Amino acid sequence: MTTLLIDRIDYLATFDDQHHEWRDAAMLIRDNQILWAGPRTEKPDLPVDETLDLSGHVVMPGMVNTHHHMYQNFTRVMAQDDPLFPWLNTLYPIWARLDDEAIYLSSKVAMAELLLSGCTTAADHLYMLPNGARLDSQIQAAGEMGIRFHAARGAMSRGQSQGGLPPDNCVEKEDHILCDAERLIRRYHDAGRHSMLRLVLAPCSPFSVTPELMRDAARLARRHQGVRLHCHLAEELDEEDYCLAQYGMRSVAFAASVEWLGEDVWFAHGIFLDDEEIALLARTGTGIAHCPSANMRCGQGIAKVRQLLDAGVPVGLGVDGSASNDSSNLFLEARMAMMLQRVAPARYRSEAPGGRGGFGGDPGALSAREALILATRGGARLLGRDDIGHLAPGMSADWVAVDMNHLSFAGAQRDPLAALVMCGPFLASQVMVNGRMRVRDGQLLGTEPAALIREHARVMMRLYQ
């Protein structure tokens, strides 16, 4: 066993059950778990093997990204002004050229971005697997990068000829999807505490799969401990229209009809939910991954995060696709989440007597700390984890440190934690995942970013040619 002392922390935010925050703090780590965290004056007198001085740093739990499409970093800044369905139709033909090498390299690029910006756990929704590409290559990339990973075996099975949105050459046969999902679960899934790799079953959306695949995937997942379910839902008004036309019901009712509500389910986006649907999600423990940047990028709308939280719906954050964000930075996503709730409609004023018209927001709708809770504990809850998301004895040693000695933080000493949301931009100084340093002094360990960028560019040119 090895013991690491993180000493002289300028500001430590644990996000534990008591919401402890301390100045002049320390933390003890033994192997891959936190042994103790608190004020330096109360530090246990234990022998340590190594000491890391983090004077001038803010330390907080590693963040949890609950929705991503990593392969999309090959198509950044494309279809810049399109709503979702035209945006998808523009990009599907390019994504149809992906192969195993493309999946592997795009995953490494996205994971490097996430680690450098303080994310230690990521879930990726990979629903494009053409040309023999397999989820195995993304799992290999996660192992090499040292990020805690929830690999979502996504799928599309309903092409245009069957009334779906994606082209027929982008879909798979449903028996193959289910057989491959079973193979992946048996080979890779680790439901144990401190697990570095878990599997998720993730049919893409109501407009790209059949109800039969949704139901079969749910039943398959529930035959295995800790395998969760993920899907896009209530992301777009066109999606609601599709569900009404195709199934005679809205998207949440459709999800219920195919056994897709429960504590083991989380949906991406959930923008177009009414009060009854929000209450249903709360009663069933069904979660929402909020992706504010992507929702703004495609002009979709503002998710009712404040209302979801007040109702008791589990909510986390996701950066979403690298072609709809077009970044992979959870600090920026937390900032966007906070800001967007402050301008979200509080009530429709034009119907009130003497109303001014338009919408009115609430400047205190979501605080900086609440945004960071979504990025940590909120995400851990969506992924079904009781071992990450906050810093306390027995928790996984996943944490991030940010050096406050930068111009962007000048004047923010009164509340260094809020500064991580309200100031910036910046990258993490130190990042540890499962007791192993992945970023040290701002440098990614084990991967040379310049070489990775060159390889990524080479494959991108091949895809476009």
Query: Which tens digit of pLDDT belongs to each residue from 234-257?
Result: 998 989 999 999 999 999 999 999
Residue predicted with more confidence, 61 or 351: 61
**Tokens at 51, concatenated:** 């000491």
Domain ranges of the chain: 3-61+387-444, 63-382
CB atoms within 10 A of CB 343: 14
Side-chain half-sphere CA neighbours of 304 within 13 A: 18
- What is the residue-averaged pLDDT of the chain? 94
The whole-number pLDDT of residue 346 equals 61
Greater confidence, 420 or 364? Answer: 420
Distance CA 440, CA 342 (A): 35
Could you tell me the sign of the dihedral formed by the alpha carbons of 297, 372, 70, 106, in that order?
positive
CATH topology agreement for domains 3-61+387-444 and 63-382? no
- If we measure between CA atoms, which residue out of 70, 63, 62, 75 comes closest to residue 107? 70
| Each residue's pLDDT tens digit, 54-66 | 999 999 999 999 9
The pTM (predicted TM-score) of the whole model is 0.95
Token pair in block for residue 56: 């001038």
Summarize the confidence of residues 337-343 as an average pLDDT: 94
Nearest to 319 by CA among 334, 341, 340: 334
pLDDT confidence bin for 349, thresholds 50/70/90: very low
The span from the CA of 42 to the CA of 22, in Å, is 12
**Which segment of 292-306, 342-356, 379-393 scores lowest on mean pLDDT?**
342-356
Check: CATH 3.40.718.10 for 3-61+387-444? no
Greater confidence, 280 or 92? Answer: 280
Number of H helices, E strands in the chain: 15, 21
The amino acid at residue 16 is D
Looking at domain 63-382, its CATH superfamily turns out to be Metal-dependent hydrolases (3.20.20.140)
Angle, alpha carbons 451-95-456 (nearest 5°): 5
